[in-house]
Structure 1
Amino acid sequence: MATITYKCPSCGSPLTFDGNSKEMACSSCGSQFEVEALKQAMEIEKESDNFKEGTSWRAKDESFSDEELDRTRTFNCSSCGAQLITDETTVATECAFCGSPSIIPAQFTPGTRPDSVIPFKIGKDKAVELFKNYFKNKKLLPNLFKKNNQIDDIRKLYVPYWLFSCTADADITYSAKKVNTFTRGNYRITQTRHFRVRRAGTVDFKDLPVDASEKTDNKLTESLEPYNVGDALPYVPEVLSGAQASRADVSIEDSKKRADERIAQSMQNEFRSTVLGYESVVPISTKINVPDGTCYPALYPMWLITTKKDDKTYTFAINGQTGQLTCDIPMSIPKAIGWFLGIFAGSSIIITFIMSLILQFR
């Protein structure tokens, strides 16, 4: 299976895509090249390099089970010639032997080639800084995270998404009530008035993202939103250079179920936010229609960091565009209880002090 590796014309080192300058950058000599200019240089080199065209390498024959063959792919690094093995969804990776970024366009199946890519704006150094800063001033963190938070692994990933766009309509009826308490003579009267409130309308949804990878948790990826789709670029293989990427392996139909759920929840929240001035509001009738719309594949940037504590692995994910961070570290329950009791005790002391002052003036 053919791979693409981009090398610096000046020094021969691997090139990666710089999301800020939107050019191919060399970390060794500092050179930067426009994507189109680099393509032309590679074509000229390909035409003039007869030795490479006439050279073939034979990989050692390995035996795989039918199941393994269905799930794995082999390819040769175009930089050093090493034979590498990936799963069936990997479209960008790096050579384990020479470290060169490798792109495997043939891994895209029909319909999964992304229409757009949001490039990285958060570099590796910034991602590490965000990871370290997360632990500062977190009073409810478990004690084992108070020091020695070392990174076990950090990966630069492009995560596949399906982006859904549609115009949905909803008709929701609420039961609401207002409570008014007043005094009349020697009586304290509570008056409760009941209302029926109706909200109906349409909402436009544009590029609603749904995680299209079985490898990543929906809760994790949704916690990284929002992304600014205005920064998205049309897909070209060069954008993936220097990162790992996978194609979508969750079908559009399966993803549509999640899109429908998110659209319905968003509309319910939006409509409910307009029902104001009531003590209680309860929906009693909800009709939401999500018609067929458009859907296309895209790749969004994410840094994935893991750290180990007491033989357990914890995951941190960072939005590669905005720097938004999410993680699966639990809150310390004993510390939370202690914090609550401390506030409660402090409030009780203040209330007791105020009451004593009031009693002194009676």
Structure 2
Amino acid sequence: MSDVQLKCPACGAPINFDVPSGRMKCNYCSATFSVQEVNQFNGINAANQELESARQAQKTNNQSETELNAAGGGAENIDTSSPQTTSSLPPETPGWVEPDPTYLDEATGEKMAQFECGSCGGEIIGPADMVSTKCPWCNNNFVATGQLTRTRVPDRMIPFGMTKEQALAAFKQQAAGLKLIPNAFKQVSVNDIQGVYVPYWLYDASVAGVATFECERTSSWSDSDYTYTEHDVYSVSRNANVAYLDVPVSGTSKVTAELTEAIEPFDYSTSVAFSPAYLTGFVTNKYDVEAETANPRALERMRKSAEDVLRNSVSGYDSIQMTSSNIEPSFGELEYVFLPLWLLNVSFAGQNYNYAMNGQTGKFVGTFPVSKAKYWGGLLGIATALTVALGAVFIPFLAPWLLN
């Protein structure tokens, strides 16, 4: 498939994905169409059908290979009846194994950084992993579908559910509720805001966990002669099997893990099959963090969560300290998806402040500047109030002594 700009079936003008309606909308004739209708008009449906057929064939091949390996591997019977006893993974097991990618068509894999706008013919220069952007010459949306012939096609994606206006409103609302930020920052103009489809890896796994805790309980009582204290120490063991579905790890190095993880969760039940139509109007980059590189972070998140489950199952003690734990994963499926984010960048007082909003739920995160004047003024006000309050309490008692 060549690089395209999706056209309006009514007038032929470039057509974009409209977030509020979830449909494709033409900004020239105001006509609206479903994603499927626009795909049909632009010849995308046939490619998507080929993609789905290829994906199903790939899954069948992978399943057949798995069954063949299981039949000929000579595996011994393993007793898994007790969740406290788990088998260690062989040293050569790398964790999640990325399945063979499905392509829109066969290609050489040569990276592209120069594109031609389908509307005006202007040259578009972008990063080698760019998939969608706006043409700097005619401002029409451009989707470099040719890029997807050189990388994985997403297994699925979540379309934007929040508009640019809603992202800006969330930023303003967050700033308005903070008393210590500079007044000038509340009036700052946010010009650098982009809707971005961020590549993610989604991990499934079952985790068997065992943990031991040292727990203490102290009680005291008194009689007419003595005060007694009883200090008991217990060794408590817990085990659990936890199933994880769709644990996300960012597949790009361009957005920090602090931002991508802070805006979670996403509702993956609303995900749809990938279509280039959803990318129109937004910036999209393909992954530059391989699944193999992202694997350890997924495993770390699952292990920490499993330990929290085990820890939260222990209660009724004055203190609880985990002394040992053993977390054994059984690796499941791995998927590649596009998830929606609004990214905002604000330059203020010589510094850049970065913000992110979940493009599906509207969850907003970011660090705001603090006004030194307001900060120290607030501390001074608190100190003054405390001084007045303490003076009102103690002066009546000290006055007789001071007068003498």
Tell me the TM-score normalized by structure 2: 0.74
Percent identity over the alignment is 30
Q: Aligned partners of 1:109, 1:182: CA distance in 2, in Å?
A: 75
Cα separation, partners in 2 of 1:222 and 1:343, compared to 1, 3 Å:
farther
Query: What value does the CA root-mean-square deviation take over the aligned residues?
Result: 3.0
- 335-344 vs 27-36, which deviates more? 335-344
Q: Describe how 1:1-362 pairs up with structure 2 within 5 A.
A: 2-43=2-43, 73-108=113-148, 112-141=152-181, 143=182, 146-329=185-368, 335=375, 338=378, 342=382, 349=389
Q: Aligned partners of 2:368, 2:251: CA distance in 1, in Å?
A: 24
Superposed displacement of residue 13, structure 1: 3.5
Cα separation, partners in 2 of 1:271 and 1:41, compared to 1, 3 Å:
same
**C-alpha deviations, 1:176-233, integer Å up to 9, x for none?**
1111122222323222111111110111100111000010100111000001111111
Q: For 1:6, what is the secondary structure of its paired residue?
A: coil
Superposed displacement of residue 20, structure 1: 4.8
Structure 2 counterpart of 1:182, one-letter code: W
For these two proteins, the number of residue pairs brought into alignment is: 330
Q: Aligned partners of 2:300, 2:191: CA distance in 1, in Å?
A: 35
Cα separation, partners in 2 of 1:265 and 1:113, compared to 1, 3 Å:
same
Cα separation, partners in 2 of 1:230 and 1:220, compared to 1, 3 Å:
same
Q: For 1:199, what is the secondary structure of its paired residue?
A: strand
- 278-287 vs 110-119, which deviates more? 110-119
Cα separation, partners in 2 of 1:251 and 1:4, compared to 1, 3 Å:
same
Q: Aligned partners of 1:344, 1:265: CA distance in 2, in Å?
A: 45
Structure 1 counterpart of 2:88: none
Cα separation, partners in 2 of 1:202 and 1:246, compared to 1, 3 Å:
same
**C-alpha deviations, 1:141-173, integer Å up to 9, x for none?**
3x2655322103011100000000011111011
Q: Aligned partners of 1:43, 1:131: CA distance in 2, in Å?
A: 39
Contact 1:113 1:247 in 2 (8 A): no
Q: Aligned partners of 2:384, 2:334: CA distance in 1, in Å?
A: 51
Q: For 1:278, what is the secondary structure of its paired residue?
A: coil
Contact 1:144 1:309 in 2 (8 A): no
Structure 2 counterpart of 1:51: none
Cα separation, partners in 2 of 1:72 and 1:345, compared to 1, 3 Å:
farther
Contact 1:15 1:24 in 2 (8 A): yes
Q: For 2:126, what is the secondary structure of its paired residue?
A: strand
Q: Aligned partners of 1:348, 1:222: CA distance in 2, in Å?
A: 46
The runs of 5 or more residues in structure 1 that have no matched partner are: 45-69, 357-362
Structure 1 counterpart of 2:64: none
Contact 1:135 1:145 in 2 (8 A): no
Deviation beyond 4 Å, 4+ runs, structure 1: 330-334, 336-341, 343-350
Cα separation, partners in 2 of 1:76 and 1:37, compared to 1, 3 Å:
same
Q: Aligned partners of 1:290, 1:139: CA distance in 2, in Å?
A: 46
Cα separation, partners in 2 of 1:265 and 1:353, compared to 1, 3 Å:
farther
Q: For 1:79, what is the secondary structure of its paired residue?
A: coil
Superposed displacement of residue 138, structure 1: 0.9
**C-alpha deviations, 1:274-318, integer Å up to 9, x for none?**
211111111001101122221110000011111111121111111
Contact 2:199 2:252 in 1 (8 A): yes
Contact 2:200 2:248 in 1 (8 A): yes
The runs of 5 or more residues in structure 2 that have no matched partner are: 45-109, 397-404
Instruction: Return the structure number with greater strand share.
Output: 1
Q: Aligned partners of 2:340, 2:268: CA distance in 1, in Å?
A: 12
Structure 2 counterpart of 1:257, one-letter code: P
Contact 2:185 2:348 in 1 (8 A): no
Contact 2:20 2:162 in 1 (8 A): no
Superposed displacement of residue 353, structure 1: 5.8
